[in-house]
Amino acid sequence: DGGITQSPKYLFRKEGQNVTLSCEQNLNHDAMYWYRQDPGQGLRLIYYSQIVNDFQKGDIAEGYSVSREKKESFPLTVTSAQKNPTAFYLCASSINREVEQYFGPGTRLTVT
């Protein structure tokens, strides 16, 4: 079964700690994306990557970092510099030059 997996589903961290969210896809898609979702709001783009070893900032990249060492993996690190890290994080992927994106199930991060 092809798809996108995100783990864990729920994540709890103390303020001041960095945390890494996992995203893996076996769809053989070139492009991958990270979005943040807050209650009552749409999704906002954090980072995206169109090819291995390359990525670009989205609209709200401050306080986040990513890497793309393998085509199937695009982990997101939420650093202590992110002022409001508690949110629902969604990973997506797409075939390059195709507009349709496919989403993973999400990780809910709570920082206290």
Partner 1 sequence: GDSVTQMEGPVTLSEEAFLTINCTYTATGYPSLFWYVQYPGEGLQLLLKATKADDKGSNKGFEATYRKETTSFHLEKGSVQVSDSAVYFCALTFTAQKLVFGQGTRLTINP
Q: Which residues bind partner 1 (CB under 8 A)?
A: 4, 6, 31, 40-45, 48, 50, 56, 58, 90, 92, 94-106
Mind spelling out the 3-state secondary structure of the chain? CCCEEEECCEEEECCCCCEEEEEEECCCCCEEEEEEECCCCCEEEEEEEEECCEEEECCCCCCEEECCCECCECCEEECCCCCCCCEEEEEEEECCCCCCCEECCCEEEEEC
Q: What is the smallest separation between the CB atom of 16 and partner 1, expressed in angstroms?
A: 28
Q: What is the smallest separation between the CB atom of 99 and partner 1, expressed in angstroms?
A: 5
Q: Which is nearer to partner 1, 85 or 106 (CB)?
A: 106
Q: Which is nearer to partner 1, 16 or 41 (CB)?
A: 41
